[in-house]
Amino acid sequence: MSEFTHLQCSKCSEVHDASVVQTVCKKCGKPLLARYDLEAVKEAVTRKDLVGRESTMYRYFELLPIKDRKNIVTLGEGWTPMTPIRTVGEEIGLKDLWVKDEGIIPTASFKARGLGMAISKAKELGISSVALPSAGNAAGAMSAYGARAGMDVYVFMPKDAPKVNIIECQIVGAKVVLVDGLISDAGKLVKGGMDEMQWFNMGTLGEPYRLEGKKTMGIEVAEQFDWTLPDVIVYPTGGGTGIIGMWKVFDELEELGWIGSERPRMVSVQTEGCAPIVKAYDEGKEESTFWDDAETKASGLRVPKALGDFLVLRSARESGGKCIAVSDEELMSDLAQISRTEGLFVCPEGAATMSALKRMLAEGSVDKNEKVVLFNTGSGLKYTGLFDIKSPVVDPAKPFDYGSLM
């Protein structure tokens, strides 16, 4: 049984009824967090009970907001590999380096967790029409789960969004509108249609349940390491739901007695072309300000102002972690290194965590004996537009110079 009880504001703590559709706090406009009867969870399930359960994020059903299992809309998301990174680890002097590989998940990005959960909950609450402004992976994930749930799905994207993201929505039947403008213009169009179209806006942290899907990454890290946590988690941050969700669930796990009070240092990575949270961190501010002209190859990190920025900053500061901005040059070079050495075609956002780790090693804020988990949040296969083909084309009628391969 799910022990989900109510929603609570992340800023002012105001309690909200979870049996009806909610968006953000009615009092202060900040994100709402799902709360559980953790005593009841404690009585109902132990860590051992999880062994042998389904290898999806729904193995943690008691800690998730879906009340009736029949409302779950799933493509098998979750329980992704925790891959040891030994060779690159050795090259940079780290003995205990891992990648939590979200490249292997339905729709090829970890947005599947958030939107799979949000669509399931939307179905449970009777929502039949959803809309989202997105420049990328979130749109693909929402379209897929929306299709599976039989919902009407509307996606508003900047017209220069990657072809793969436009097609992945189109192919599963979403109505895709390309906007000759920025993601913020797409957002305005979604808001503008709410009365006439009666759709529900799935924008990041504009509803409480995407976060609950993403928090399962934190439970998996703990379970995959036999209920211990690493010393450092490095996470590529756009809207921040992943890092906020993990930080939230660590407290839930501690209350259950499944982990102790120790926490990883949470490191939030952005790129120099869009680093509002890093800027706020460096300036000692509680919230970020809008980042103009955001531009980066790590398109999942192109979020000029995140609704949950203050929660990301809080998790970095409370955990003794930090916020770091890396350049596109660094992350593309690290993408090549990880791919070539480990056979792991990571996405640019995932590669950015390696660049951040190298900087931390250089400045001494990570020790070579520490256990570090990098998050690869998607598959590099969704980003082939960033790469050129390097192979020469040969004429099969002419003798081939095999020596040229050596």
Please give the Cα distance from 346 to 103 (Å, whole number). Answer: 7
Q: For residue 382, give the amino acid letter.
A: K
Under 8 Å between Cβ of 324 and 278: yes
Site map (CB under 6 A) of ligand PLP, residues 95-114, x = contact: --------------x-x---
Based on CB atoms, which residue is closest to ligand PLP, 256 or 331? Answer: 331
Q: Is the dihedral of CA 341, 344, 347, 352 positive or negative?
A: negative
Please give the Cα distance from 63 to 327 (Å, whole number). Answer: 37
What does 208 bind: Zn ion, ligand PLP, none (CB cut-off 5 to 8 Å by kind)?
A: none
Give the phi and the psi of residue 299 in degrees, each rounded to 5.
-65, -25
What does 236 bind: Zn ion, ligand PLP, none (CB cut-off 5 to 8 Å by kind)?
A: ligand PLP
Q: 100: which residues sit within 8 A by CB, 6+ positions away?
A: 80, 81, 82, 83, 217, 220, 221, 373, 374, 375, 376
Angle, CA 107 vertex, CA 102 and CA 109 arms, to 5°: 30
Nearest approach, Cβ of residue 30 and Zn ion (Å) = 5
Task: Kindly state the helix (H) or strand (E) to which residue 17 belongs, with its residue range.
Answer: none
CB count in 10 Å sphere of residue 21: 13
SS3 content of the chain, % helix, strand, coil (to 5): 45, 15, 40
CB count in 10 Å sphere of residue 369: 9
Q: What's the farthest any 2 CA atoms get from each other in the chain?
A: 76
Under DSSP, is residue 386 helix (H, G, I), strand (E, B) or coil?
helix
Q: Indicate which single residue of 25, 45, 105, 269 sits in contact with Zn ion (rule: CB under 5 A).
A: 25
Segment contacting Zn ion by CB under 5 A, of 5-13, 154-162, 166-174, 269-277 = 5-13
Based on CB atoms, which residue is closest to Zn ion, 15 or 21? Answer: 15
Under 8 Å between Cβ of 175 and 181: no
Nearest approach, Cβ of residue 10 and Zn ion (Å) = 7
Does 240 contact ligand PLP by CB under 6 A? Answer: yes
Q: Indicate which single residue of 206, 300, 321, 380 sits in contact with ligand PLP (rule: CB under 6 A).
A: 300
What does 25 bind: ligand PLP, Zn ion, none (CB cut-off 5 to 8 Å by kind)?
A: Zn ion
Nearest approach, Cβ of residue 239 and ligand PLP (Å) = 3
Under DSSP, is residue 105 helix (H, G, I), strand (E, B) or coil?
coil
Based on CB atoms, which residue is closest to Zn ion, 12 or 381? Answer: 12
Site map (CB under 6 A) of ligand PLP, residues 318-357, x = contact: -----------------------------x-x--------
Based on CB atoms, which residue is closest to ligand PLP, 131 or 331? Answer: 331
Angle, CA 267 vertex, CA 108 and CA 8 arms, to 5°: 80
**Residue facing ligand PLP at closest CB distance:** 300
**Residues 130-169 interacting with ligand PLP (rule: CB under 6 A):** 136-137
Under 8 Å between Cβ of 288 and 185: no
Based on CB atoms, which residue is closest to ligand PLP, 133 or 136? Answer: 136
What does 187 bind: ligand PLP, Zn ion, none (CB cut-off 5 to 8 Å by kind)?
A: none
Does 377 contact ligand PLP by CB under 6 A? Answer: yes
Does 74 contact ligand PLP by CB under 6 A? Answer: no
Nearest approach, Cβ of residue 78 and ligand PLP (Å) = 15
Does 242 contact ligand PLP by CB under 6 A? Answer: yes
Q: C-alpha 320: how far from its chain's center? A: 21
Interacting residues with ligand PLP (CB under 6 A): 109, 111, 136-137, 204, 236-242, 300-301, 347, 349, 377-378
